[in-house]
Structure 1
Amino acid sequence: ADSLSDIAVLKVKAENLPTVQLGDSNSLEVGQWVVAIGAPFGLDLTATQGIVSALSRSLPDGTYVPFIQTDVAVNPGNSGGPLFDLSGRVVGVNSQIYSRSGGYMGISFAIPVNVAKTVIEQLKSNGKVDRGWLGVAIQDMSQDLARSFNLNQPDGALVSSVQPDSPAADAGVLAGDVIVAFGDGKVRSSSDLPLLVGNTPVGAQVPLKLLRAGAEKTLNVTIAKLGDDKEVASPVAKAQSESGMLGLGVATLSSDELKTRKLDNGVVVEQVLADGPAEQAGLTVGDVIVSVNNQPVKSAADLKTAVQAAPSGKPIAMLIMQGEQSRFIAVNKP
């Protein structure tokens, strides 16, 4: 079984079983009619129909699966059942729904059959699925972030952090880079990149096109194997200091606190004023501000200087760490 795709291969000792024809999920189009068959609430052989609502949908718990979104009625008991096109070919595996009630609410998701084919072949030949690994944390570009990085369009995957000793680090990728293409695939949003990287063979060298300080740059990256290890952040003690222009108070982190958080620099947020620019941008107490407009922040004084130097009326690109995750936010300077 492969937990990242939620696909398993079962061996059944039987003969002359009926089979279905597998189709090509890459040929699906938004608006195309599809049919699901399953056993919702134990009602066997139930068929429901609808259209493809969206393609390559990224979900929080399915980073490496470009889900097919449909409006086909899917309920508990449909999971694992086939999604057919009108020619009777399987184009997806019904997987999950979006619901606030536990039942169907017009949004359902299926694993593309082409993803299932790849997983099945690897499980049959290797007993496991190997995926490519780049070693970056990424986020979507908003319009405000694009403006803060002097970009015309909010396209691409914004790199918020680069893991040490990773393929990205070895290739020279930096936090603040905007990845716009990976090999032959375009990266229009952050959800595009994991799918491209995950499907790349381990050891392959791939050109990575990115924007750095507004200029286009291409790096060659050698893809490594995705592992299971995760970093864990520990809480740190705080010492009060402040920088008030953005409506927040911060404290300088000691060398031990920085080491605990695996950071080279940063200040921790101690206070956030209601309705201030910081709160409106999503900053909360405990967040760590790492840089402002790609300038490292080592103290409250550094933060104040960087904010004062930023042009008024233009969003400030602020790299922060929230819990274990690094990401950029756009803070409007008053």
Structure 2
Amino acid sequence: MPKTIVSAVRLWVTGVVVALVFPGVSLAKPVSPDFVELSKRLTPTVVNIRTAKTIKPKQRMRRPHSQQPQTPFDEFFEDFFGRMYDENPQQRPRREQSLGSGFIISAEGYIITNNHVVNDADEVMVKLSDGRELKGELKGKDDKLDIALIKISDKQALPHVELGDSDSLEVGEWVMAIGNPFGLSHTVTAGIVSAKGRVIGTGPYDDFIQTDASINPGNSGGPLFSSDGKAIGINTAILSGGAGGIGFAIPINAVKAVVEQLRSNGKVTRGYLGVRFQPLTPELAKSFGLESEKGALIASVEKDTPAEKAGLKTGDIILEYDGRRIIDGNELPRFVAGTPINKKVKLVIFREGKKQDVFVTVGKLKDGEIAAAVPNSGSGDGDKIGITVQELSKELADRMGMKESKGLIVTEVKPGSSAEEAGVATGSIIIEVNGQRPETLESFRSLLAALKKGDLVRLLLKRQDGSIHYVAMKTE
């Protein structure tokens, strides 16, 4: 009897049993994809990548001939140790090899992988599922997103994957990974999407898909497939611990535009706004009169930037960017970076208790800049929140190694205070208290004196590293 008929009979019998034992309980439809069929169809599109690079040893310092004359004793030792250095195999240039994975995205032989798989490699070799090994050409790379594009040439059209839509991916969906873990070629693992939008600190545009499908060293650069066989991610990182590890994949939608630029130009250009922001906390949102903490709070606006020219200000909260709502402030850098240069986009901001539209023309991100940067956290406050504040003098500034010579500075943070819980650091300069600028110590004290116990205090601070940020806390 065919397997499909047997499976159908088993399912029908199971449904009858459930209906008899548990009246009113419906049997869910099977949602597990046919991994056997998927692996047969998709394995030929996945490749193993072997790289090699030459590691040069540090050169031994030799005494210049212009220095004082050597004695025969000096000459003997220099000649002896020089020959020993030259003859020591550990001091010779050596070849370092590594393995990774990738997947073919076009019949012409374009391959996507991680940048860290091929970075600084002198040689890239690509092994196909049929055992053939071809030389790969690096067409371009993007270290910020950790993406690289390789090209191989073959006489025949190559099998390739179809790119899916990672935005439509749901938590709980089945996914399958194919790669080269621990050098074991074309290994298939399966699991589900555990979470989306994970930020794990690997770069400025973190937005990972988290999965429990087994991903191990050597899987880097390989594809994460959806249940319909489309590539929806690039397996990139793992967090190990306990009984197993957690895998992370770059969403394929973030990769599509980058790949096109790498194919055309060999490099990536990104949009630039020129703001430093921080994610909203419930306390900060409440202090601004905003009901929800969804949005990105502007902590500072850089000079001569698209943001300044558009009229954005410190304290503005960006609620929408180019038609997309900002749920988490960490989304803003990705949105800005992916915007075409010179595009005019609409921002919905919250300012002084009201929503309003602001239009900004996106600039070009330069090397060393970040599309929209997150400042370091920290804070400061007064007696009611557990800090000591002084007026900054030249002597105090010199003692603390600061450039500023005037203003209000936090000189002490009380242990266990609300200021310490908010992350206040000594040396922070107080710029604003609840939207007002205290020019003197007296004005600062008067602003705090008007507050009752349990009231919210919002401070705008400048840390010693130059970062500017908001913090909110309750008076004690």
Q: Please state which band the TM-score falls in when normalised by the shorter chain.
A: 0.7 to 0.9
Identify which of 157, 160, 171 aligns with 1:19.
Answer: 160
Identify which of 229, 232, 239 aligns with 1:91.
Answer: 232
Cα gap change, 1:216 to 1:255, in 2 (>3 Å): farther
Aligned to 1:82: 223
The Cα of 1:268 is off from its aligned counterpart by 2.7
Matched residue SS, 1:20? coil
Matched residue SS, 2:194? strand
Kept after mapping to 2: 8 A contact 1:74/1:104: no
Q: Does 1:186 align with 2:325?
A: yes
Cα gap change, 1:230 to 1:285, in 2 (>3 Å): farther
Aligned to 2:274: 135
Aligned to 1:117: 256
Cα shift readout 1:185-204 (whole Å, capped 9, x = no counterpart): 11122022122211111111
Give structure 1 stretches of 5+ with no counterpart: 232-241
Which structure has greater helix proportion?
2
Question: TM-score scaled by structure 1?
Answer: 0.87
Matched residue SS, 1:195? helix
Farther-moved stretch of structure 1 (70-79 vs 294-303): 294-303
RMSD: 2.7
The Cα of 1:18 is off from its aligned counterpart by 3.7
Distance in 2, Cα, partners of 1:183 & 1:255: 46
Aligned to 1:302: 443
Larger Rg: 2
Paired residues for 1:139-178 under 5 Å: 139-178=278-317
Kept after mapping to 2: 8 A contact 1:315/1:333: yes
Number of aligned residue pairs: give it.
Answer: 321
Kept after mapping to 2: 8 A contact 1:265/1:290: no
Question: TM-score scaled by structure 2?
Answer: 0.62
Cα shift readout 1:186-245 (whole Å, capped 9, x = no counterpart): 1122022122211111111111111112111111111101122359xxxxxxxxxx9533
Cα gap change, 1:116 to 1:317, in 2 (>3 Å): same
Paired residues for 1:216-231 under 5 Å: 216-229=355-368
The Cα of 1:263 is off from its aligned counterpart by 7.5
Aligned to 2:5: none
User: Using CA pairs below 8 Å that are at least 6 residues apart, which structure has the higher relative contact order?
Assistant: 1
The Cα of 1:65 is off from its aligned counterpart by 4.6
What one-letter code is carried by the residue in structure 1 that aligns with 2:278?
Answer: Q
Farther-moved stretch of structure 1 (139-148 vs 281-290): 281-290
Give structure 2 stretches of 5+ with no counterpart: 1-140, 371-380
Kept after mapping to 2: 8 A contact 1:30/1:52: yes
Identify which of 128, 133, 150 aligns with 1:10.
Answer: 150
Farther-moved stretch of structure 1 (75-84 vs 300-309): 300-309
Distance in 2, Cα, partners of 1:223 & 1:263: 32
What one-letter code is carried by the residue in structure 2 that aligns with 1:19?
Answer: H
What one-letter code is carried by the residue in structure 2 that aligns with 1:131?
Answer: R
Aligned to 1:284: 425
